[in-house]
Each structure stands twice: as structure tokens, then as C-alpha cells.
Amino acid sequence: MHTAVAGEAFTLARRAGLDPAQTFAVISDGAAGSRVLDVRGEMLVSDTYLPIRTMPLELWRKDMRVIADFANSLACPTPMFSAAVPLFNAAVASGFGDQDTAAVATVIEAMAGLPVGKKEKR
């Protein structure tokens, strides 16, 4: 969820014409800071999702199915998780499955009418 929210924050900043590097500096040193920003912040700044820092998007999508099945088996609602799943699925469908999980930001960029992050060859 943190990765999707971070992608949303950077998309909002880009849409507002703010500098992504300055946005990163401001939000990472305060209440919005997180391990996700520590690991993936520079990727979100550069809008480039290779090399993979922790996990490819396709692998995380598999883990999301496991989490969803677990929550469903407990009849436990997961509204934030459920809202993020389609973003990850769309990023994989858009060709970013072999890139870092942070590439989920590309879907939010497309929704905002911004140029989408770079699809890179390995």
C-alpha cells in the first residue's frame, strides 16, 4: 500500500508542476517518510523502475493473491489493500511486470494524463 500511495504522491506532485527531487526531500523527512520511500524514492523521482531494488512487480502481484486469499479465509475486510490490487494488475498488464514494484506509479501517471514511466529492457 505504501508503494501505491508513494506513486500517487509523486504523480500529484508532477501534475502540480513540482520538482520530484524536491518533493522527495520534503516528504521523506517527516510524517510521510517510510521504508518504501527510502528504498524506492529515487526510482519515483527518476520515473525509472530498473534495476529492481527489492521485488519485481509480477512477483508482488502473486503475493497479493496470497494475501487476498488469507484475508478472505478470515472474512476480514481489507479496503485499502483491495483498492490497490487493480493498480498493480494494471501495471503488469501495461508491461511493467519485470520492473520494480514501484512501477505501480505508472498506472497512476496514466490516469492523471501524464507521460508514463520508462519501459526499459533488461
Rounded CA separation 119/122 (Å): 10
Exposure string of 42-64, with b = 16+ CB inside 10 Å and e = fewer, is ebbbebbbbebeeebbeebbeee
Residue 25 has a CB neighbour count (10 Å cut-off) of 12
How high is the mean pLDDT of the chain? 91
Residue 121 pLDDT: 52
Interval 4-59: pLDDT, tens: 999 999 999 999 999 999 999 999 887 777 888 999 999 999 999 999 998 999 99
Rounded CA separation 63/109 (Å): 24
**Inter-axis angle of helices 2-15 and 35-46, nearest 10:** 40
84 is written with which cell numbers?
A: 490497490
Please state the pTM of the whole predicted model.
0.88
All domains of the chain in start order, with CATH:
2-111 (1.10.1040.10)
- At position 25, the amino acid (one-letter code) is A
